[in-house]
Amino acid sequence: MRGVRNGLTGLLLLCGVAAAEPVTVVALGDSLTAGYGLADQAQGLVPQLENWLKARGQDVIVQNAGVSGDTTAGGLARIGWALGPDADALIVALGGNDLLRGIDPAAAKANLEGILQAAVARKLPVLLVGMKASTNFGPDYKAAFDAMYPDLAARYGTLLADDFFGGLRTAGADPADPASMAAFMQADGIHPNPEGVRLIVEALGPKVEDLLALSRP
């Protein structure tokens, strides 16, 4: 079958018709991207997102570059090798662990900026996925943390999904109210269960379609 496909590709090229290739999207993130805690990894964010896009007719490969426990600093440290030669676009979904650890938003913002600069150097379109801080570290911290995503998106001209958990909010859940989140979260109350991931994907999916449109000539 591979020989038939390769032969067809060669014939198209000889006829002056370029064979279309899937768009490769790298999803750089933490445990929320990696699919931490799910018994079936096929129910993780990346597989569900890829399937959602393909069901809508998109020819796409979504690569899982999520590392559990990663902060924005960790993402910056590995962005060079996470963006392989086939990368056509980048999703950045980092900041949750910075938030849990109370890391200075200015430091987190500088790390995210470094990641975006790496994408700019590769001329890759980016979807930046934000997180919403709780008030645990005070209103000033929350204001600075929440603002860094739209600030960076405006500065670098990236697409923006302002809330990773936006799909759960649409379903009536509130991250500040654990009881309302219970149906969509694993027992740890931090990571989504398969149904929670499905709702997150449904909210993020249209933004990723916009990203795919930017990645095509």
Tell me the Ramachandran region of residue 16: left when phi exceeds 0, alpha when psi lies from -120 to 50, beta otherwise: left
Terminal Cα distance for the chain, rounded? 29
User: Is the four-CA dihedral 159, 165, 170, 174 of positive or negative sign?
Assistant: negative
- Say whether 31 is catalytic: yes
Q: Among 68, 88, 191, 215, which one carries the catalytic annotation? A: 191
- Say whether 188 is catalytic: yes
- Say whether 134 is catalytic: no
> Cα–Cα distance between 71 and 216 in angstroms, integer?
30
Q: Among 68, 177, 188, 210, which one carries the catalytic annotation? A: 188
Q: Among 31, 70, 98, 163, which one carries the catalytic annotation? A: 31
Number of alpha carbons in the 13 Å side-chain half-sphere of residue 56: 14
Produce one character per residue of 156-188: b if its CB has 16 or more CB atoms within 10 Å, e if not. bebbbbebbbbbbbebebebeeeebbeebbbee
What angle, 0 to 180 degrees and rounded to 10, lies between the N-to-C axes of helices 105-121 and 139-156? 10
CB atoms inside a 10 Å sphere around CB 193: 17
Q: Which residues are catalytic?
A: 31, 188, 191
